[in-house]
């Protein structure tokens, strides 16, 4: 689009002229647009060993009451406890349907690499109390409390689709680690692009951005790419949308860290950490690492909040009381750490007169993300994508849908399904393990020769430059006209829902739709110069 091109040229000019030159970054997680020594800042950072948790936001982990140092000082212990916990029978067996068709497009990009394959577990190896036939009798809500589509369902309180227990296979997660599979190319890129496109919020964001944010804290503009609309004032980007992006970006960075740490040399066939992969995918973009911290704080807050329920949960099934007691004790250890680290303040989100509409949009978008996992062409990638999006969705439900009465294990013994509990803990383990791997990469960097360091930095600079040269995807209201038809029908559905619930939101939705239509017509009929060629819309 013309405005994007002008913005990109202007930004390049300002960077070149030094008009946007920032001060020397004080943190390895600098939010500045001008990147300077970002690889060194990430890899030469020394993690804190002592907690410095404060009663006011002190670090760049926005909407939290704790800083990076606290997370770092507790993560080694948290990782040790989680690493042992996910090896236990209760948390390593997961039932998942990996063979549902992609609901959004015809997917032909299947990974043929043997590392994409998974190993399933025969049902006879699963303790009877954890089998689908037993759990469906105990956990599956009645039909009038769930919205069902072929192979999966969700309740109104759910932020994700849950697999139908009558479908799928049992998987031992410890036998199918998240690591490099060779799955890349257009298929993988389309999946991630579709996930980020779910960041497009409609009438509720427009309504909220036109009024002051009632939240007691605000988020500085630390986003890049997706959140940088065409010259728009960042303060008009609603808090919930920015939190959504950070959640998704944190998952993306965590997955990339695992892939780079457990990387297969396709020449030798050996598995080992790939420092260059980590630098190019994560260390060269410090904000991506920041979002892993953010996700870890969000999930530890969910675990802390639901701690009494998890402490009363029945983990029996191993056949040995000692094994069951060990599992419960490890869960309680994790809960104890989560109560210190999980200082996320969920009360600042979904407030104000349009909160109900915005929350429904947020749910719908995140549910779509869980459905997009069915479009992943690599079985192992699809498995871990499903586990982690379900884990984050479970955390969001705990934080934003359950009141204190609902959290009482004596009043609500079936609050979460077994799959949700397993996904929540395994996702928290993935995030904690990512930060552990980052420290391992720092050790590798410290042993790297200076000449090799300079080569890696130079290569990373070229990667960053090449990405900066590509125009960022726009998620401003004027870009909605370029979204796929599915998003258009989603907007219509949300507008009709708003009209049923209030005249003001109905009018706002109509005005927004007219504005988007005018923007689309303006873009289509805007002539480009001959030297630029035709517009991409054609």
Q: Percent of the chain beyond pLDDT 90?
A: 32
List the catalytic residue out of 111, 375, 378, 506.
Answer: 378
Between 434 and 141, whose confidence is greater?
434
Write down the pLDDT at residue 185.
Answer: 82
Q: Alpha-carbon distance 168 to 311, whole Å? A: 29
Write down the pLDDT at residue 509.
Answer: 58
When mean pLDDT is compared across 239-248, 314-323, 362-371, the lowest value belongs to 314-323
Write down the pLDDT at residue 77.
Answer: 96
Between 537 and 469, whose confidence is greater?
469
pLDDT digits (tens, 9 = 90+) for 387-433: 999 999 999 999 998 888 778 877 777 788 889 999 999 999 999 99
Mean pLDDT, rounded, for 510-529: 52
178: closest CA among 248, 70, 270, 251?
Answer: 251
Between 352 and 173, whose confidence is greater?
173
Q: 107-111, 202-206, 214-218, 455-459: which has the highest mean pLDDT?
A: 455-459
Write down the pLDDT at residue 51.
Answer: 60
Q: Give 67's pLDDT tier (boundaries 50, 70, 90).
A: confident
First to last CA, the chain: 12
The CA–CA distances, whole Å, from 84 to 28, 65, 87, 92, 252 equal 30, 28, 5, 11, 24
In this structure, are residues 161 and 104 in contact, taking their beta carbons and an 8 Å threshold?
A: no
Write down the pLDDT at residue 126.
Answer: 83
Whether 456 has a pLDDT exceeding 80, the answer reads yes
Between 53 and 443, whose confidence is greater?
443
Question: 């639901």: which residue's tokens?
Answer: 306
Mean pLDDT, rounded, for 51-75: 64
Between 63 and 181, whose confidence is greater?
181
Q: Give 470's pLDDT tier (boundaries 50, 70, 90).
A: low
Write down the pLDDT at residue 411.
Answer: 78
Q: Alpha-carbon distance 503 to 72, whole Å? A: 49
When mean pLDDT is compared across 122-131, 198-207, 325-334, the lowest value belongs to 198-207
Q: Give 277's pLDDT tier (boundaries 50, 70, 90).
A: very high
Mean pLDDT, rounded, for 311-340: 83
Q: Alpha-carbon distance 289 to 282, whole Å? A: 6
Write down the pLDDT at residue 233.
Answer: 40
pLDDT digits (tens, 9 = 90+) for 280-320: 999 999 889 989 999 999 999 999 999 999 998 888 765 66
Whether 321 has a pLDDT exceeding 70, the answer reads no
When mean pLDDT is compared across 207-211, 217-221, 341-345, the lowest value belongs to 217-221
How are beta strands 263-264 and 169-172 bridged, if at all? unpaired
Backbone φ, ψ for residue 26 (5° rounding): -90, -10
Write down the pLDDT at residue 420.
Answer: 93
Q: Give 124's pLDDT tier (boundaries 50, 70, 90).
A: confident
Write down the pLDDT at residue 55.
Answer: 40
Q: 269-283, 316-330, 482-496: which has the highest mean pLDDT?
A: 269-283
Write down the pLDDT at residue 6.
Answer: 36
Active site (annotated) includes residue 381: yes
When mean pLDDT is compared across 203-212, 243-252, 324-333, the lowest value belongs to 203-212
Return the HEC string of 57-122.
CCCCCCCECCCHHHHHHHHHHHHHHHHHHCCCHHHHEEEECCCCCCCCCCCCCCCCCHHHCCCEEC
Backbone φ, ψ for residue 142 (5° rounding): -65, 160
Q: Alpha-carbon distance 504 to 515, whole Å? A: 17
pLDDT digits (tens, 9 = 90+) for 158-186: 777 766 666 778 999 999 999 988 888 88
Q: Alpha-carbon distance 470 to 467, whole Å? A: 5
Write down the pLDDT at residue 500.
Answer: 53
Write down the pLDDT at residue 39.
Answer: 84
In this structure, are residues 230 and 5 in contact, taking their beta carbons and an 8 Å threshold?
A: no
List the catalytic residue out of 53, 200, 260, 381.
Answer: 381
When mean pLDDT is compared across 132-136, 137-141, 312-316, 381-385, the lowest value belongs to 137-141
């Amino acid at each position: 689009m013309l405005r994007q091109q002008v913005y990109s040229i202007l930004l390049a000019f300002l960077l070149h002229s030094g008009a946007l030159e920032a001060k020397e970054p004080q943190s390895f997680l600098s939010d500045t647009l001008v990147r300077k020594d970002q690889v060194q800042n990430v890899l030469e950072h020394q993690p804190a060993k002592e907690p410095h948790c404060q009663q006011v936001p002190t670090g760049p982990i926005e909407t939290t009451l704790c800083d990076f140092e606290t997370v770092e000082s507790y993560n080694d212990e948290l990782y040790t406890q989680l690493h042992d916990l996910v090896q236990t029978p209760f948390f390593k067996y997961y039932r998942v349907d990996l063979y549902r068709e992609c609901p959004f497009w015809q997917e032909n990009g299947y990974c043929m690499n043997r590392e994409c394959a998974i190993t399933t577990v025969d049902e006879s190896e699963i303790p009877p109390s954890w089998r689908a036939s037993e759990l469906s009798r105990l956990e599956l809500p009645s039909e009038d409390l769930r919205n069902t589509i072929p192979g999966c369902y969700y309740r109104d309180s759910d932020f994700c689709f849950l697999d139908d227990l009558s479908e799928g296979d049992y998987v031992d997660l410890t036998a199918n680690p998240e690591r490099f599979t060779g799955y890349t190319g257009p298929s993988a890129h389309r999946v991630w692009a579709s996930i980020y496109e779910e960041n497009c919020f409609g009438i509720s964001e427009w309504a909220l951005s036109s009024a002051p944010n009632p939240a007691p804290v605000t988020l500085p503009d630390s986003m890049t790419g997706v959140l940088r609309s065409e010259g728009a004032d960042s303060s008009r980007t609603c808090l919930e949308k920015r939190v959504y992006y950070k959640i998704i970006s944190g998952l993306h960075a965590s997955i990339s860290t695992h892939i780079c740490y457990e990387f297969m040399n396709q020449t030798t066939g050996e598995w080992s950490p790939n420092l260059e992969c980590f630098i190019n995918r994560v260390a060269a973009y410090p904000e991506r690492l920041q979002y892993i911290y953010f996700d870890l704080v969000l999930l530890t807050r969910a675990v802390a909040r639901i701690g009494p329920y998890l402490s009363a949960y029945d983990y029996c099934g191993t056949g040995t009381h000692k094994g069951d007691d060990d599992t419960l004790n490890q869960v309680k250890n994790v809960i104890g750490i989560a109560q210190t680290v999980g200082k996320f303040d969920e009360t600042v989100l979904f407030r104000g007169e349009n909160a109900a509409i915005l929350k429904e949009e947020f749910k719908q978008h995140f549910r779509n993300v869980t459905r997009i996992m069915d479009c992943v062409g690599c079985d192992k990638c699809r498995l871990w994508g499903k586990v982690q999006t379900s884990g984050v969705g479970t955390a969001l439900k705990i934080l934003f849908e359950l009141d204190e009465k609902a959290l009482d294990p004596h009043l609500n013994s079936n609050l979460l399904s077994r799959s949700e509990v397993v996904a929540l803990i395994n996702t928290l383990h993935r995030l904690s393990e990512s930060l552990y791997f980052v420290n391992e990469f720092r050790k590798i960097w410290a042993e790297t020769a200076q000449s090799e360091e300079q080569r890696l930095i130079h290569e990373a600079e070229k990667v960053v430059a090449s990405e900066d040269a590509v125009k960022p995807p726009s998620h401003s209201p004027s870009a909605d006209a370029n979204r796929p038809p599915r998003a258009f029908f989603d907007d219509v559905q949300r507008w009709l829902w708003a009209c049923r619930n209030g005249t003001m939101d109905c009018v706002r939705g109509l005005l927004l739709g007219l504005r988007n239509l005018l923007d689309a017509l303006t873009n289509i009929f805007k002539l480009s110069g001959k030297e630029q060629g035709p517009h991409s819309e054609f």
